């Protein structure tokens, strides 16, 4: 895959790559047998410069010299700057098709969500066009966003230099990916948490207040409470029978543990377990969130009488009486309204961890 300079304003799927060479990383251990140890790797860094109110772009510029120093003679650093919504998906798909060895999301959970979705097309994994079938593109993360909730599952800080060191070490693990299917049958993929009703509505409004940084989650929650009512939902787990849950406030489906800027909503979720953790909050009032907010952030809320949790391979959720106004989101991205179905793709992506 060649790394060159091109315009980023084209509406078609395209990505602009600027190659940088440096002198630290030895990836020869990852090279297939028969390849010379000097074979260079292509690492595509997908940067959302507007992330965290522009902080991502500024910190990325400061990070580049260190990146050049640490990622060495076996690696081309291919920089690609996103120009708007969904651009990271297009960049990722083209990078994989051209044989990139890794695509690294630089930004927050929204950028990571788009990059993960770029690993798929029409419900199937994207394949390299000119490499052997065993060639695999790895996923990486440099967390520089407003929330960076996915990184919290691994205990990572918003430290780009630590993220570079993880990539330098080159250790990879298999990561599960969630699949969410809406009422129109279209599939989306999520790596962190999908959620339904109040929390999804709060996430929708939080996206309107990103200018306020992490306070956007507070403003989003306050706005979501306006007109909110707990609702009866039908749930089908692992293809079984429908079960009605009364007065549901929020239903969260975790591949990982955190959402909403640090809330440990699905505390037993493990993105390498091959299953999803479902947490259902029932009959919560506004004052319950005030009194129990510390438990939601610490992940100790599962002991509450009106909170239930279970591990699933798939789950379908619908309204008991359909009104079409219950919000659905995944990884903080609004996806529409119920009904919806979620399932798990075990060990779907290699991830720098």
Judging by DSSP bridges, how do beta strands 340-352 and 333-337 pair with one another? unpaired
CB 114 within 8 A of CB 80: no
Mean pLDDT by 10 residues, the chain (353 residues): 41 40 36 45 95 91 94 87 96 97 95 97 92 85 88 93 96 98 92 97 88 82 90 98 98 97 96 98 93 95 97 98 95 95 98 97
- Structure confidence at residue 109 (pLDDT): 93
- C-alpha 65: how far from chain center: 27
Identify the CA nearest to 158 among candidates 89, 63, 68, 83: 63
Tokens (6 digits) for 261: 């800027």
How far the first Cα of the chain sits from its last, in Å, is: 24
- Structure confidence at residue 3 (pLDDT): 61
Catalytic residue among 90, 101, 109, 331: 109
- Structure confidence at residue 40 (pLDDT): 87
Question: Annotated catalytic, 90?
Answer: no
Instruction: Tell me the C-alpha distance between 135 and 127, whole Å.
Output: 9
Judging by DSSP bridges, how do beta strands 172-181 and 187-190 pair with one another? antiparallel
**pTM of the predicted protein model:** 0.88
Q: Which residues contact 275 (CB under 8 A, 6 or more apart)?
A: 311, 312, 313, 344
- Structure confidence at residue 11 (pLDDT): 37
- CA torsion sign, 304 to 306 to 307 to 312? positive
- Structure confidence at residue 22 (pLDDT): 33
């Amino acid at each position: 895959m060649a790394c060159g300079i091109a315009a980023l304003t084209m509406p078609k799927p395209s990505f602009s790559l600027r190659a940088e060479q440096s002198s630290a990383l030895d990836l020869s251990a990852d090279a297939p047998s028969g390849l010379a140890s000097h074979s260079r790797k292509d690492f595509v860094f997908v940067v959302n410069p507007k992330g965290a109110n522009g902080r991502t772009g500024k910190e990325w510029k400061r990070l580049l010299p260190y990146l050049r120093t640490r990622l060495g003679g076996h690696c081309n650093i291919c920089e690609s700057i996103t120009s708007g919504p969904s651009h990271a998906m297009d960049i990722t798909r083209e990078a994989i098709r051209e044989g990139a060895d890794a695509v690294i999301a630089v930004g927050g959970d929204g950028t990571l969500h788009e990059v993960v979705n770029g690993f798929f097309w029409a419900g199937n994994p994207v394949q390299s066009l000119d490499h052997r079938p065993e060639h695999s593109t790895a996923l990486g993360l440099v967390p520089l966003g407003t929330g960076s909730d996915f990184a919290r599952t691994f205990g990572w800080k918003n430290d780009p230099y630590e993220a570079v060191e993880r990539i330098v070490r080159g250790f990879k693990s298999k990561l599960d990916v969630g699949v969410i299917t809406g009422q129109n049958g279209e599939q989306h993929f999520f790596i962190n948490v999908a959620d339904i009703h109040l929390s999804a509505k709060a996430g929708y409004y939080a996206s309107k207040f990103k200018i306020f940084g992490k306070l956007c989650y507070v403003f989003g929650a306050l706005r979501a409470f306006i007109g909110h009512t707990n609702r009866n939902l039908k749930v089908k787990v692992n293809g079984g029978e429908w079960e009605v849950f009364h007065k549901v406030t929020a239903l969260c489906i975790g591949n990982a543990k955190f959402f909403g800027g640090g809330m440990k909503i699905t505390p037993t979720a493990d993105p390498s377990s091959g299953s999803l953790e479902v947490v259902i909050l029932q009959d919560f009032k506004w004052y319950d969130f005030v009194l129990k907010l510390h438990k939601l952030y610490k992940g100790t809320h599962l002991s509450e009488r009106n909170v239930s949790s279970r591990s699933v391979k798939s789950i379908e959720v619908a309204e008991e009486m359909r009104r079409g106004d219950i919000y659905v989101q995944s990884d903080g991205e609004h996806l529409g309204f119920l009904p919806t179905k979620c399932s798990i793709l075990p060990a779907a992506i290699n991830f720098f961890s």
